[in-house]
Amino acid sequence: MQAKPDRRPLPMAADLYGDIEPSPKASWRGYLPGLLVVGAGTLAAGFISDHYGAPLTLMALLIGLALNFLSDDARLSAGLALASRSLLRWGIVLVGVRVTFGQIAALGPVALVAVVAIVALVIGTGLLVARRLGFSDAFGVLAGGAVAICGASAALALATTLGERRINQGQLTLVLVGISAMSAAALVLYPIFAHLLMLSDLKAGFMLGASIHDVAQTLGAGYAYSPGAGEIAAIVKLTRVALLAPVLAVVALFFRPDGAGAKRQGVPWFVIGFFALAGVNSLGVIPAVATGVAERLATAMLACAVTATAIRSPMRQLTEGGPKPLLVILAATLLALALATGAAVWVIGRS
């Protein structure tokens, strides 16, 4: 008798491409409960940040995690999904108003080479550790690629390319859960680590942008360190996101796509929007008033996205499947941190 395929629902996570779950379709009343919870949590985070000097995004994360039990309430699902996905994407675009091509050029070609090398080495490490622990090459590529590029969205794109014959639903779920948990931990711990190293904004921004898994947590950690570090982290992270398309092409060369439904991912629209807005901002044509409004709106959107992502993090599924598969994700995560830190300290700013 043939075993039935594992069809457990995928955990809710940062979903940049919209392929983990369908876009929520609801009336404004359907979105309202979830948005009210996110808004209240973010306002509380803002109050603590204003009165006690704590980083806004860190407070948004902690409050979101404290409200994680609310993710079981179906009435909140549409609003939470809208905040964690749409607000994140538009917040990323608006961050472009804080960036100029001068800042991008200041990173230099060495930084781009470093980012590409880190992505390649992290994926390779995921493959080698998976082999060492007795997992398939496909699982190693899945875990390593999710860490190296953009977290949950990269995992979904890679799983689609690899096909269900190589990556089953249980393996994918475990990678999504592990990525979500480790990325949340990175949001809290990595800025502290950068402060201990006394990194400049440029170096800290590169380190955070080149090592943290999901986009929301990357931007949260960057702006928790400093506004300047947040801008650099956004540039570096979105460069990693843009590498997803060539990585999928390389994976498809070694693993023939399983079936005709393999989905090809291009550069997402919010990455294009970010760099386009940065280009316009570089021309100096955006009025100061509009810049100020856009900056505040971007801060609010990103804080709401962090709050919603924390509420939706699938913490209960973290222990499913045992700790062994998570070691692959952990090894790739630690290598990404080590390589990003090394590049930030010894390479960035010296070219």
Q: What is the pLDDT of residues 25-83, one digit of tens each?
A: 667 788 899 999 999 999 999 999 888 877 676 688 788 878 888 888 888 888 888 88
Is there a domain that residue 15 lies in? no
Given a contact cutoff of 8 angstroms between Cβ atoms, the answer to whether 329 and 146 are in contact is yes
Given a contact cutoff of 8 angstroms between Cβ atoms, the answer to whether 20 and 152 are in contact is yes
What lies within 8 Å, CB to CB, of 28 at 6+ separation is none
**Rounded-to-integer distance, Cα 207 and Cα 188, Å:** 14
Which of 45-49, 153-157, 243-247 is the least confident region?
A: 153-157
Is there a domain that residue 8 lies in? no
Q: How many CB atoms lie within 10 A of CB 25?
A: 8
- Give the domain range for residue 219: 28-346
Is there a domain that residue 303 lies in? yes
Is there a domain that residue 183 lies in? yes
Q: What mean pLDDT comes out for the span 90-114?
A: 82
Is there a domain that residue 2 lies in? no
The reported pLDDT for the residue numbered 2 is 43
Q: State the total domains in the chain.
A: 1
The reported pLDDT for the residue numbered 143 is 94
- Write the DSSP symbol of residue 97: G
Given a contact cutoff of 8 angstroms between Cβ atoms, the answer to whether 159 and 165 are in contact is no
Q: What is the DSSP string of 282-340?
A: HTT-S-HHHHHHHHHHHHHHHHHHHHHHHHH--GGGTTTT-SHHHHHHHHHHHHHHHHH
Given a contact cutoff of 8 angstroms between Cβ atoms, the answer to whether 96 and 281 are in contact is yes
More confident residue, 12 or 169: 169
Secondary structure string (H, E, C) spanning 296-308: HHHHHHHHHHHHH
User: Maximum CA pair distance of the chain?
Assistant: 68
**Taking 90 as the threshold, does the pLDDT of residue 122 lie above it?**
yes
Q: What is the pLDDT of residues 285-317, one digit of tens each?
A: 888 899 889 888 988 888 888 788 778 766 665
Is there a domain that residue 9 lies in? no
Is there a domain that residue 12 lies in? no
Is there a domain that residue 62 lies in? yes
